[in-house]
Amino acid sequence: MPLGMLTGALFCREMEWLEGVTDGWLTPLFIGSMLFVTFCRVEVRQIKFSMLHLWLLLFQSVGCFVAYYALLPFGEVVAQGGMICVLAPVAMAAVVIGGMLGAKVETMVAYSLLGNLAVSIFAPMLLSAYGSGECSVLEILQRVAPMLIMPFVLAQLCRYFTPAVGVWVAKHSQISFYIWLMSLIVIIGRTTCFIIDHTEADRGTELLLAAVSLVICLMQFITGRALGRRYGDAAAGGQSLGQKNTVMAVWMSQSFLDPLSSVAPTAYIVWQNIVNSYQLYRAGSRANSKKVS
Cα distances from 251 to residues 100, 247, 255, in angstroms, run 28, 6, 6
For residue 287, tell me if it sits in a domain.
no
Total structural domains in the chain? 1
Q: Does 286 fall in a domain?
A: no
Whether residue 34 lies inside any domain: the answer is yes
Average pLDDT, the chain: 86
Query: Is residue 292 in a domain?
Result: no
Per-position b or e across 172-183, b if 16+ CB within 10 A of its CB = ebeebbebbbbb
Give residue 201's pLDDT band: very low, low, confident or very high (50, 70, 90).
low
CATH number of the domain enclosing 74: 1.20.1530.20
Is the pLDDT at 293 greater than 70? The verdict is no
- Residue closest to 90 by CA, chosen among 72, 69, 112: 112
CB 103 within 8 A of CB 41: no
Residue 23 binned pLDDT confidence (cut-offs 50, 70, 90): confident
Nearest to 114 by CA among 157, 43, 58: 58
* Residue of 117, 143, 95 lying closest to 240 (CA atoms): 95
Write the single-letter amino acid at 225: R
Question: Does 100 fall in a domain?
Answer: yes
Residue range 89-101: mean pLDDT, rounded? 85
Residue 288 lies in a domain: no
Q: What is the CB-side half-sphere exposure of residue 234 using CA atoms within 13 A? A: 7
Q: Does residue 75 belong to any structural domain of this protein?
A: yes
Q: Taking Cα atoms as reference points, which of 11, 61, 8 lies closest to residue 273?
A: 8
Of 54-63, 183-192, 231-240, the range with the lowest mean pLDDT is: 183-192
Q: Residue 175's domain spans which residues?
A: 2-281
Give the model's confidence band at 56: pLDDT under 50 very low, under 70 low, under 90 confident, else very high. Answer: very high
State pLDDT tens for residues 114-146.
888 888 888 888 888 888 767 788 888 877 777
Give domain status of residue 89, yes or no: yes
* pLDDT tens track for 2-19: 788 889 889 989 988 988
Determine the distance from the C-alpha atom of residue 175 to the mean position of all C-alpha atoms in its chain, rounded to a whole number: 19
Rounded Cα gap, residues 242 and 93, in angstroms: 12
